Structure 1
């Protein structure tokens, strides 16, 4: 009897899973498994919420497989060793898996492919984590990555629409193979593991109410898709699209599907086609603005395309698409302290601190807040490398993966995906938050020490009179920290550093770097409302506060 293994990594779903279909139809019996690869990842790199979401997703996947007579084996170890033992104990004719765009995952997969070739085992790798095959996009672009988002759009237009989701499997004809006890004992099979199984515990155990707002798994992801499509339909009826960008809601449960897409609980192709069909139906076949409706999904594919052949995409050194900026050295105690204050949500700027605490507590922050946090850490205020921010987000942010998260960080920090250092936008940590949340409810939720602070001082508590501080029970510098920097001063200084760096570079010293094609792309990538774009000023204007968009006055 021929045996196939479908190896789940991302793509934790049964719907639209072409690699799983290949395993089911090309062998007489099927094994489904997930491997915690102890040779590739350190469990300590993951925060509690990320691990919980992954384990919830695996449990739902196992439950769904159980309904059709199967079982998901969760093993720990090196994939090649596991497949070798399955070959010896059970027999192994085929391994199927979804393409991984992460260079670490690709190195792992190359080892498995080599093992298959050496042992006359067939393998099938299918593209379903992205809309298009990043390799095909690069080939279609002349063998090089498209260095602008518009160039990426033009390239995928030449390829054509992404494939539609594949159909469901006929489970009635499927025979599931069981793994023998010797394999389960050797590779520590995990039954209903929790984060605590891996030695991970909540970062905010005293605040359980808001910590578990995201639930993993295919079933919940499909429910969220229905809810999201209803939200989009209502927006279409009212004459606009991307409602979460037009009117960001920082407090309500997010309609974003990025977490479900990151783990593949939801098919990116299903989301794309369901949203496109909804738009076409509403506007009677008008396809021209369709890519605007799905722009965030295309940005995701763009980042995967830029990273797939760049093993250093997640770092500044030896990254061919990234400008090397001389950020502050965090080995210097003062800079290290600044970084730790940012991580802990203790910068003294309530809007920034609320975002950082929400990240640690829930594993999620709205994209407009993410951009604020990234700008504050890098070119806006602290002048600390985006790599430090990326590493922190990769540990705690539920939807973080190396390609998309790196792309966003280096873009916002003006390290790449930007006209060479020509970004006049600097997020004011006071005014931007005040515009997004004028009532201050966002700050009060995540910074309880400021919950009684009058609204006129909530975003600038250092201006609050001592008598009022005592009255509300929050002494600045004691119960809540003072500002760690003077925003107006440091943002102006950082801008001058950017201008000096730009002026020092000649065309001969510039690497081919990614950049937006126009201001509209800046707006879409950074989730900026229309009124914000109207406030952009000329690059070389040295007015003291020109870089603080979203001003109050």
Structure 2
């Protein structure tokens, strides 16, 4: 590439990755504080490491592009723009650093293994070009390295309890106050400065090229936040039923949702995550998780907005961690810390906190068929299939729904490995997050963090607690919509005449159950009991081996 006009002019690059926002973006703020007369070029890369159909579902593609479009619009209002390029960082950035006189290069710290390896290469590249490289924490409430320092954990020690995490965060006190969006940006270069680069624009053509579908209409979202615990607004419910775009990407939408939710102060004070509904047709939680995943909203902003409400109503009772709203942010912090400090966090092998349970990797034909039935919503259990259909259609599922389908795949019914379930969630969830997804699958499969393996979610009775009529099932599995409530959760028990009247014959129009839940549950409880006994024995032997040198020194 030939050096153009910016070859002599000083340039600063800000690399947007997860921090797709202008408010409370510490990494961006640090760069702008250094700016004098330099051009600042905000860049986002479509990295082929992530940008594959096998790894990213259409819903998340759409959400990402909407977030980029929103960020671009926000930058345009500040006399800047977003340069979107396609290619790996190792290929693109050497071109930019050779092409331009880049004095500073900044990005937000990312704790994922791929990111750590990638960023190390970029830091080395900057050093070669004598370019200052600024890396700043901003995706978590606290700097993870500072948490590690304060934890005083020795080699081979890991923090695996939520209570211990709360004690650790107490040492650092209140998270730093969020910072405001920059009022203005230095001028963005002219288009001729980017000749020869594979520059992309967020247009319908790009949407079509990436095969992610284009959003036709947006639901009227403000009505989705009533004062009651669950939405009963029929217009809002109908809007959600008809649209797959309930989650609209971008910082603007994230801040609007937070503002709308926070305005319901009593809801903030009384929020209890376990008491929200997994099968309400309109989500019963804050729905901020996809925005936190992409960094469209800052966790510190959310924390301080909630804290402001708690301080305003000091004399009123309010919920506490782990079930409160602030408690959810600490869960996120806990799993980020664990993922940053535990080796091989995303797998069973080589993971020191993960029990070595003999779950199947679905290598034999029988297990493979059951795994595919689960992944494609064809288990024959309407509650499970409705949840998995919701995941495919909307890219989202309530956390208790995630509990139910994960338990069904692993220790509850199919005894298939959590890593396989993790991969399905990783592709389809809008809020798929490397740290949280792996942690939650280890938890729900009783491989780490959670030990009460005998607490199995029933694929029949659990959903009835909050939806006796089965409206959630009727919506997501319309072939079952005419079944009486008595049979909607277990239609295989319906007499033949009832099935005929409903227009759905089980085993023909809708699958028969792929397992007998009661038999599978009993067999799996025995297997889990044996796995836990083996795990305890191995752990005891390791502790004894580690303690042997101490005993020898004591005898001397």
Which TM-score applies when normalising by structure 2?
A: 0.85
Partner of 2:10: 2
State the 1:83 CA deviation. Answer: 2.2
Aligned pairs (5 A) from 1:321-470 = 321-419=353-451, 422-470=452-500
CA distance in 2, matches of 1:262, 1:186: 29
- Whether 1:164 aligns to 2:164 is no
Between the two proteins, the alignment pairs up a number of residues equal to 502
Contact persistence 1:279–1:290 (CA under 8 A): no
Partner of 1:176: 188
State the 1:168 CA deviation. Answer: 2.6
Partner of 2:534: 504
Question: SS state of the match for residue 458, structure 1?
Answer: coil
Contact persistence 1:39–1:77 (CA under 8 A): no
CA distance in 2, matches of 1:67, 1:80: 31
Deviations 1:427-462 (A, max 9, x none): 000100111211211000100000101110000100
Aligned pairs (5 A) from 1:181-330 = 183=194, 185-192=196-203, 194-200=206-212, 209-231=242-264, 233-235=265-267, 240-242=270-272, 245-247=275-277, 250-254=280-284, 255-284=286-315, 289=320, 292-310=324-342, 312-330=344-362
CA distance in 2, matches of 1:287, 1:477: 49
State the 1:162 CA deviation. Answer: 1.2
State the 1:505 CA deviation. Answer: 3.3
Question: SS state of the match for residue 426, structure 1?
Answer: coil
CA distance in 1, matches of 2:168, 2:316: 23
Q: Which runs of 5+ in 2 are unaligned?
A: 1-8, 215-239, 544-556
Contact persistence 2:278–2:401 (CA under 8 A): no
- After TM superposition, the structure 1 stretch with the greater mean CA deviation from structure 2, 132-141 or 303-312, is 303-312
Question: SS state of the match for residue 97, structure 1?
Answer: strand
Deviations 1:340-373 (A, max 9, x none): 0001111011000000000001101111111001
Deviations 1:396-422 (A, max 9, x none): 110011111111111010000123xx3
State the 1:40 CA deviation. Answer: 5.8
Deviations 1:163-220 (A, max 9, x none): 110123130x623234645x55343434426443224459xxxx99232221001111
Change (3 A) 1:163 1:170: same
Partner of 1:70: 80
CA distance in 2, matches of 1:471, 1:140: 65
- After TM superposition, the structure 1 stretch with the greater mean CA deviation from structure 2, 222-231 or 271-280, is 222-231
State the 1:221 CA deviation. Answer: 0.6
CA distance in 2, matches of 1:349, 1:287: 38
State the 1:106 CA deviation. Answer: 1.4
State the 1:87 CA deviation. Answer: 2.2
Q: Which runs of 5+ in 1 are unaligned?
A: 514-553
Contact persistence 2:139–2:298 (CA under 8 A): yes
Change (3 A) 1:479 1:130: same
RMSD: 2.4
Change (3 A) 1:258 1:452: same
Deviations 1:378-406 (A, max 9, x none): 00000000111110011111001111111
Change (3 A) 1:511 1:131: farther
Deviations 1:319-345 (A, max 9, x none): 222112111241100100000000111
Deviations 1:496-517 (A, max 9, x none): 111111222345436999xxxx
- Whether 1:141 aligns to 2:164 is no
Partner of 1:120: 130
Change (3 A) 1:357 1:510: farther
Partner of 2:226: none
